[in-house]
Structure 1
């Protein structure tokens, strides 16, 4: 076989192999989600001028540091933290390096609250860029801060975990913290770097505004729990389909129509 034919065979085999293992709708949906993320990643690699053109006028950058510990768990093309790093909008921290500001970490005890505004304004915000599937092997003890925090209930809008509660990307976690602490313009500025970024604030606007009005971490937890209880109650409430039922007037109209048909039949038989 010639080199040209071998090349064609490999290309055909590769295309066939790509779809050979697609056996369920779930696999198809996963591939579509991954393709959506690839498209977002392609957009992030475009020229800086075209990227900036889409975010002019949306908020403004913070005057305090934004940082992250990158554990290299994520696909660089789909990682929001990596994109921020490429744009020079986030500082990379080393393992063992202490961050003086607020750190979003699963080992935190208290929720982010408006009480943290001064901490954020003075020393900034840091996130841990790791995979949700590898939390157990993540060395959180080597990412130290005097202000570890948790985020309250929010829904992800990123292409990988869209609609899933609490599965936020790095930029979503940063933006949520900034928004709750009163830095709304800065939050919008960061989300404006992503084509899907506006969806995050739109999906969570009611909750974010409610959290931003709280006075303490305890109050945020209470607001969160009340919201979840209402959502659960609404979910369990029996559906009311009465508006789709025929009304009495429509029923009487149908009866009149039936009478007209019968009368016509009688008149026809009489003739």
Structure 2
């Protein structure tokens, strides 16, 4: 499994989940996107349809700060292999329970879980104490997305959003 981190040096080095994935040998740095690129601006959701691309070329995550990254920033990384994650909630202490505001590690772990690479997904989460919190918060969603095609994931996401009380 090839996991790549596009490191933009915007986060505190001590808190960078992308750097920690590299330090522990789960990922390698890259300057340009490779394989499926996790990008919150993508209209296409990651799904089991992407497993062949990930197996052949890998999975890239853009390791940047949510506070410094806007739509213009993410637009630089759009490609035909850009994918977004479906609705999930952050388990990390900085964005705890916020929808779609995942750390790089959470995004990669969730992607791998959806693609049915559960063992590596859970090993990544074990790098942080709050990794179990992410899993517990999203277990039902992750299981419902796992192994599903794009159209199925979008339907699950829509139905979940309809069920959530409006705030």
TM-score (norm: length of structure 1): 0.57
CA distance in 1, matches of 2:135, 2:128: 12
Deviations 1:38-60 (A, max 9, x none): xxxxxxxxxxxxxxxxxxxxxxx
Structure 2 equivalent of residue 150 of structure 1:
84
* 3-state SS in 2 of match to 1:153: coil
Structure 2 distance, partners of 1:116, 1:79, is: 26
Q: 1:89 deviation in Å? A: 2.3
- Displacement, 1:182? 0.7
The equivalent of 2:155 in structure 1 is 222
Matched, 1:93 2:26: no
Aligned residue in 2 for 1:123: 57
Q: Which of 169, 175, 196 in structure 1 is aligned with 2:103?
A: 169
How far residue 221 of structure 1 moved from its aligned partner, in angstroms, is 1.2
Displacement after TM superposition at 1:213 (Å): 4.6
Aligned counterpart, 1:245: none
Distance 1:139 1:113 in 2: 20
Superposition pairs of residues 48-63 of structure 1, within 5 angstroms: none
Among 106, 125, 138, the alignment partner of 2:73 is 138
Q: Is the 8 A contact 1:175 1:190 kept in 2?
A: yes
- Counterpart position of 1:181: 115
1:208 is the counterpart of 2:142? yes
Q: What is the count of residue pairs matched by the alignment?
A: 166
Equivalent residues of 2:33, 2:60 under 8 A apart: no
Any stretches of 5+ residues in structure 2 without a counterpart? none
TM-superposed CA distance for 1:199, in Å, is: 1.4
Tell me the CA shift for residue 87 of structure 1. Answer: 2.2
Aligned to 1:13: none
Asked if 1 retains the 8 angstrom alpha-carbon contact of 2:116 and 2:147, the reply is no
Q: What is the RMSD of the two structures over their aligned residues, measured on CA atoms?
A: 1.9
* Maintained 8 Å contact 1:130/1:138: no
Q: Shift of residue 109 of structure 1?
A: 2.2
Task: Identify, as 1 or 2, the structure richer in helix.
Answer: 1
Structure 1 144/167 Cα, relative in aligned 2: closer, same or farther at 3 Å?
closer
Q: What secondary structure sits across from 2:82 in the alignment?
A: strand
Structure with more relative contact order (C-alpha pairs < 8 Å, separation 6 or more)? 2
Distance 1:195 1:113 in 2: 27
For the pair 1:231 / 2:167, whether they are aligned, the reply is: no
Partners of 1:123 and 1:139 lie apart in 2 by 21
